[in-house]
Amino acid sequence: MHQNLLQIIIRLILGIGASVLIIGFVTLLLNGASKNLGALIGIVFMTPVLLYAIFMPKIHEKIGSTWKAGGAGKRALITILVLIVVGILVIITETVFMCIYAHRKAPASEHPPVVLVLGCQVRNGSPSTLLRTRIDTAYEYLAAHPESPCIVSGGQGSDEAFSEAKCMFDELVKMGIDPERIYIEDKSTTTRQNLRFSKEIMEKEDLGDTILIVTNSWHELRAQMIAKDLGIPCGGLGAETPWWLLPANYMREIMAILYQIVF
Protein backbone atom coordinates (compact mmCIF):
# COMPACT_ATOMS: atom_id res chain seq x y z
CA MET A 1 0.00 0.00 0.00
CA HIS A 2 2.71 2.44 1.03
CA GLN A 3 4.84 1.47 -1.97
CA ASN A 4 1.94 2.10 -4.35
CA LEU A 5 1.24 5.49 -2.75
CA LEU A 6 4.92 6.43 -2.96
CA GLN A 7 5.03 5.40 -6.62
CA ILE A 8 1.93 7.49 -7.37
CA ILE A 9 3.49 10.52 -5.68
CA ILE A 10 6.76 10.09 -7.59
CA ARG A 11 4.87 9.69 -10.87
CA LEU A 12 2.85 12.84 -10.19
CA ILE A 13 5.93 14.88 -9.31
CA LEU A 14 7.90 13.71 -12.35
CA GLY A 15 4.92 13.95 -14.69
CA ILE A 16 3.82 17.42 -13.62
CA GLY A 17 7.38 18.74 -13.50
CA ALA A 18 8.30 17.37 -16.92
CA SER A 19 5.00 18.57 -18.44
CA VAL A 20 5.45 22.11 -17.13
CA LEU A 21 9.01 22.29 -18.44
CA ILE A 22 8.08 20.88 -21.85
CA ILE A 23 5.23 23.37 -22.18
CA GLY A 24 7.62 26.15 -21.17
CA PHE A 25 10.25 25.10 -23.71
CA VAL A 26 7.68 24.80 -26.51
CA THR A 27 6.19 28.19 -25.62
CA LEU A 28 9.61 29.83 -25.78
CA LEU A 29 10.24 28.34 -29.21
CA LEU A 30 6.82 29.34 -30.54
CA ASN A 31 6.96 32.96 -29.38
CA GLY A 32 10.59 33.42 -30.40
CA ALA A 33 11.78 34.32 -26.91
CA SER A 34 14.44 31.63 -26.89
CA LYS A 35 15.09 30.14 -30.32
CA ASN A 36 18.22 28.29 -29.32
CA LEU A 37 19.51 24.83 -28.65
CA GLY A 38 18.59 25.04 -24.98
CA ALA A 39 14.85 24.78 -25.48
CA LEU A 40 15.28 21.86 -27.88
CA ILE A 41 17.64 20.08 -25.49
CA GLY A 42 15.13 20.64 -22.71
CA ILE A 43 12.36 19.00 -24.74
CA VAL A 44 14.63 16.07 -25.62
CA PHE A 45 15.60 15.54 -21.97
CA MET A 46 12.16 16.02 -20.43
CA THR A 47 10.17 13.87 -22.88
CA PRO A 48 11.69 10.57 -21.62
CA VAL A 49 11.05 11.73 -18.04
CA LEU A 50 7.39 12.32 -18.87
CA LEU A 51 7.09 8.94 -20.60
CA TYR A 52 8.76 7.29 -17.62
CA ALA A 53 6.23 8.88 -15.26
CA ILE A 54 3.31 7.74 -17.42
CA PHE A 55 4.48 4.18 -18.00
CA MET A 56 6.47 3.63 -14.80
CA PRO A 57 4.89 0.28 -13.75
CA LYS A 58 5.36 -1.28 -17.21
CA ILE A 59 8.90 0.09 -17.47
CA HIS A 60 9.81 -1.33 -14.06
CA GLU A 61 8.31 -4.68 -15.03
CA LYS A 62 10.33 -4.74 -18.25
CA ILE A 63 13.53 -3.74 -16.45
CA GLY A 64 12.98 -6.47 -13.87
CA SER A 65 12.44 -9.21 -16.44
CA THR A 66 15.44 -8.05 -18.49
CA TRP A 67 17.64 -8.00 -15.40
CA LYS A 68 16.60 -11.51 -14.37
CA ALA A 69 17.23 -12.82 -17.88
CA GLY A 70 20.85 -11.64 -17.64
CA GLY A 71 23.10 -11.67 -20.71
CA ALA A 72 23.29 -8.73 -23.13
CA GLY A 73 20.09 -7.16 -21.78
CA LYS A 74 21.49 -6.95 -18.26
CA ARG A 75 24.76 -5.52 -19.54
CA ALA A 76 22.80 -2.89 -21.49
CA LEU A 77 20.87 -1.92 -18.34
CA ILE A 78 24.12 -1.55 -16.39
CA THR A 79 25.58 0.62 -19.17
CA ILE A 80 22.48 2.82 -19.21
CA LEU A 81 22.57 3.15 -15.42
CA VAL A 82 26.25 4.12 -15.46
CA LEU A 83 25.62 6.73 -18.16
CA ILE A 84 22.71 8.19 -16.20
CA VAL A 85 24.77 8.39 -12.99
CA VAL A 86 27.73 9.97 -14.81
CA GLY A 87 25.40 12.44 -16.53
CA ILE A 88 23.83 13.45 -13.21
CA LEU A 89 27.26 13.89 -11.60
CA VAL A 90 28.45 16.03 -14.53
CA ILE A 91 25.35 18.24 -14.33
CA ILE A 92 25.70 18.65 -10.56
CA THR A 93 29.41 19.49 -10.86
CA GLU A 94 28.82 22.03 -13.61
CA THR A 95 25.97 23.61 -11.66
CA VAL A 96 28.12 24.00 -8.55
CA PHE A 97 30.87 25.73 -10.53
CA MET A 98 28.31 27.90 -12.34
CA CYS A 99 27.18 29.15 -8.93
CA ILE A 100 30.75 29.71 -7.73
CA TYR A 101 31.77 31.65 -10.84
CA ALA A 102 28.61 33.76 -11.00
CA HIS A 103 30.18 36.39 -8.72
CA ARG A 104 33.98 36.52 -8.55
CA LYS A 105 36.15 39.54 -7.85
CA ALA A 106 38.62 40.50 -10.55
CA PRO A 107 42.26 39.83 -9.61
CA ALA A 108 44.17 42.70 -8.04
CA SER A 109 45.87 44.97 -10.56
CA GLU A 110 47.41 48.42 -10.75
CA HIS A 111 44.53 49.37 -13.04
CA PRO A 112 40.84 49.15 -12.15
CA PRO A 113 39.14 46.22 -13.89
CA VAL A 114 37.58 46.82 -17.28
CA VAL A 115 33.87 46.12 -17.14
CA LEU A 116 33.24 43.90 -20.16
CA VAL A 117 29.55 43.57 -20.99
CA LEU A 118 28.79 40.63 -23.27
CA GLY A 119 26.09 41.12 -25.87
CA CYS A 120 22.77 39.39 -26.24
CA GLN A 121 19.93 39.74 -28.71
CA VAL A 122 18.46 43.11 -29.67
CA ARG A 123 14.73 42.91 -30.41
CA ASN A 124 12.90 45.54 -32.44
CA GLY A 125 15.65 48.06 -31.75
CA SER A 126 15.54 47.53 -27.98
CA PRO A 127 17.43 45.28 -25.55
CA SER A 128 15.99 41.79 -25.15
CA THR A 129 15.07 40.71 -21.63
CA LEU A 130 18.46 39.07 -21.03
CA LEU A 131 20.39 41.98 -22.53
CA ARG A 132 18.47 44.40 -20.30
CA THR A 133 19.57 42.49 -17.18
CA ARG A 134 23.20 42.73 -18.31
CA ILE A 135 22.93 46.44 -19.02
CA ASP A 136 21.32 47.13 -15.64
CA THR A 137 23.97 45.07 -13.81
CA ALA A 138 26.78 46.87 -15.64
CA TYR A 139 25.22 50.25 -14.89
CA GLU A 140 25.04 49.55 -11.16
CA TYR A 141 28.73 48.66 -11.04
CA LEU A 142 29.87 51.51 -13.28
CA ALA A 143 27.87 54.04 -11.29
CA ALA A 144 29.47 52.81 -8.06
CA HIS A 145 32.98 52.56 -9.59
CA PRO A 146 33.57 55.64 -11.76
CA GLU A 147 37.24 54.72 -12.17
CA SER A 148 36.44 51.61 -14.24
CA PRO A 149 36.27 51.81 -18.04
CA CYS A 150 33.76 49.72 -19.92
CA ILE A 151 33.73 47.69 -23.12
CA VAL A 152 30.40 46.72 -24.66
CA SER A 153 30.88 43.72 -26.91
CA GLY A 154 28.50 42.26 -29.47
CA GLY A 155 28.04 42.32 -33.23
CA GLN A 156 24.91 42.65 -35.33
CA GLY A 157 22.80 39.62 -36.11
CA SER A 158 20.81 39.19 -39.31
CA ASP A 159 17.59 39.95 -37.43
CA GLU A 160 18.93 42.93 -35.49
CA ALA A 161 18.53 46.58 -36.52
CA PHE A 162 21.99 47.46 -35.21
CA SER A 163 24.79 45.88 -33.22
CA GLU A 164 24.32 44.67 -29.67
CA ALA A 165 27.30 46.83 -28.67
CA LYS A 166 25.61 49.99 -29.98
CA CYS A 167 22.43 49.08 -28.14
CA MET A 168 24.33 48.66 -24.87
CA PHE A 169 26.30 51.88 -25.45
CA ASP A 170 23.14 53.91 -26.10
CA GLU A 171 21.35 52.49 -23.07
CA LEU A 172 24.27 53.06 -20.68
CA VAL A 173 24.73 56.63 -21.91
CA LYS A 174 21.00 57.22 -21.56
CA MET A 175 21.26 56.00 -17.96
CA GLY A 176 24.00 58.53 -17.22
CA ILE A 177 27.31 56.76 -17.85
CA ASP A 178 29.94 59.03 -19.46
CA PRO A 179 30.32 57.93 -23.11
CA GLU A 180 34.07 58.60 -22.84
CA ARG A 181 34.30 55.61 -20.49
CA ILE A 182 32.68 53.19 -22.94
CA TYR A 183 34.50 51.44 -25.77
CA ILE A 184 32.56 49.66 -28.50
CA GLU A 185 33.46 46.22 -29.87
CA ASP A 186 30.86 45.44 -32.53
CA LYS A 187 32.40 42.69 -34.67
CA SER A 188 32.04 39.60 -32.47
CA THR A 189 29.45 36.88 -32.90
CA THR A 190 30.62 34.37 -30.26
CA THR A 191 31.73 34.55 -26.63
CA ARG A 192 35.32 33.74 -27.63
CA GLN A 193 35.30 36.59 -30.13
CA ASN A 194 33.76 38.90 -27.50
CA LEU A 195 36.76 38.29 -25.29
CA ARG A 196 39.46 38.15 -27.97
CA PHE A 197 38.40 41.37 -29.72
CA SER A 198 37.89 43.14 -26.39
CA LYS A 199 41.39 42.14 -25.31
CA GLU A 200 42.71 43.84 -28.45
CA ILE A 201 40.88 47.04 -27.48
CA MET A 202 42.30 46.86 -23.95
CA GLU A 203 45.83 46.56 -25.30
CA LYS A 204 45.35 49.29 -27.91
CA GLU A 205 43.83 51.75 -25.43
CA ASP A 206 46.10 50.75 -22.52
CA LEU A 207 43.13 49.97 -20.27
CA GLY A 208 44.94 47.43 -18.13
CA ASP A 209 44.90 43.66 -18.23
CA THR A 210 42.04 42.57 -15.97
CA ILE A 211 38.33 42.41 -16.72
CA LEU A 212 35.08 42.01 -14.85
CA ILE A 213 32.76 40.07 -17.13
CA VAL A 214 29.12 41.11 -17.02
CA THR A 215 26.81 38.45 -18.40
CA ASN A 216 24.01 36.31 -17.02
CA SER A 217 25.03 34.14 -14.07
CA TRP A 218 24.65 30.84 -15.93
CA HIS A 219 27.04 32.12 -18.63
CA GLU A 220 29.80 33.32 -16.30
CA LEU A 221 31.60 29.99 -15.90
CA ARG A 222 32.09 29.41 -19.63
CA ALA A 223 32.97 33.05 -20.29
CA GLN A 224 35.63 32.99 -17.59
CA MET A 225 36.97 29.66 -18.84
CA ILE A 226 37.44 31.22 -22.28
CA ALA A 227 39.04 34.33 -20.75
CA LYS A 228 41.53 32.14 -18.89
CA ASP A 229 42.27 30.28 -22.12
CA LEU A 230 43.02 33.64 -23.79
CA GLY A 231 45.24 34.75 -20.91
CA ILE A 232 42.91 37.42 -19.54
CA PRO A 233 42.74 37.71 -15.73
CA CYS A 234 39.08 38.10 -14.90
CA GLY A 235 36.25 38.11 -12.41
CA GLY A 236 32.53 37.86 -12.96
CA LEU A 237 29.48 39.94 -12.20
CA GLY A 238 26.48 37.77 -12.97
CA ALA A 239 23.16 39.29 -13.98
CA GLU A 240 19.98 37.62 -12.81
CA THR A 241 17.79 35.75 -15.31
CA PRO A 242 13.97 35.84 -15.24
CA TRP A 243 12.70 32.44 -14.10
CA TRP A 244 10.84 31.69 -17.33
CA LEU A 245 14.04 32.03 -19.37
CA LEU A 246 16.31 30.16 -16.97
CA PRO A 247 15.54 26.48 -17.81
CA ALA A 248 16.22 26.75 -21.56
CA ASN A 249 19.37 28.81 -21.12
CA TYR A 250 20.58 26.56 -18.30
CA MET A 251 20.10 23.45 -20.46
CA ARG A 252 21.98 25.01 -23.35
CA GLU A 253 24.80 26.19 -21.12
CA ILE A 254 25.26 22.78 -19.48
CA MET A 255 25.93 21.32 -22.92
CA ALA A 256 28.06 24.29 -24.02
CA ILE A 257 30.31 24.00 -20.96
CA LEU A 258 30.77 20.30 -21.59
CA TYR A 259 31.67 21.04 -25.21
CA GLN A 260 34.11 23.73 -24.04
CA ILE A 261 35.84 21.26 -21.72
CA VAL A 262 36.04 18.40 -24.23
CA PHE A 263 36.97 20.41 -27.33
CA distance 25 to 145: 38
Q: 160 or 216, which is more confident?
A: 216
Let me know whether 115 and 65 are in one domain. Answer: no
Let me know whether 214 and 168 are in one domain. Answer: yes
pLDDT of residue 3: 66
Is residue 75, in this structure, part of any structural domain at all? no
pLDDT for 34 beyond 60: no
Kindly state the average pLDDT of the residues 65-81. Answer: 92
pLDDT for 118 beyond 90: yes
pLDDT for 36 beyond 90: no
Let me know whether 109 and 56 are in one domain. Answer: no
Let me know whether 244 and 134 are in one domain. Answer: yes
Is residue 85, in this structure, part of any structural domain at all? no
pLDDT for 77 beyond 90: yes
Residue 52: pLDDT band (50, 70, 90) is very high
Let me know whether 109 and 239 are in one domain. Answer: yes
Can you say how many angstroms the Cα of residue 164 is from the centroid of all Cα atoms in its chain? 18
**Least confident stretch, 22-36, 200-214, 225-239:** 22-36
What is the DSSP track for 98-117? Answer: HHHHTEEPPPP-SSPPEEEE
Residue 15: pLDDT band (50, 70, 90) is very high
pLDDT of residue 54: 94
Let me know whether 141 and 255 are in one domain. Answer: yes
User: In this predicted model, what pLDDT tens digit does every residue of 133-146 receive, in sequence order?
Assistant: 999 999 999 999 99
pLDDT of residue 149: 98
Let me know whether 108 and 35 are in one domain. Answer: no
pLDDT of residue 32: 60
40 touches 46 (CB < 8 A): no
**Least confident stretch, 36-40, 106-110, 229-233:** 36-40
Is residue 149, in this structure, part of any structural domain at all? yes
Is residue 79, in this structure, part of any structural domain at all? no
CA distance 237 to 240: 10
The range of the structural domain enclosing residue 16 comes to 2-69
Number of domains in the chain: 2
The CATH number of the domain where 243 resides is what? 3.40.50.620
Let me know whether 52 and 111 are in one domain. Answer: no
pLDDT for 2 beyond 80: no
* Strand 122-123, strand 126-127: pairing: antiparallel
* Strand 126-127, strand 103-104: pairing: unpaired
pLDDT for 51 beyond 80: yes
Is residue 98, in this structure, part of any structural domain at all? no
Let me know whether 153 and 207 are in one domain. Answer: yes
Let me know whether 248 and 145 are in one domain. Answer: yes
Mean pLDDT of the chain: 93
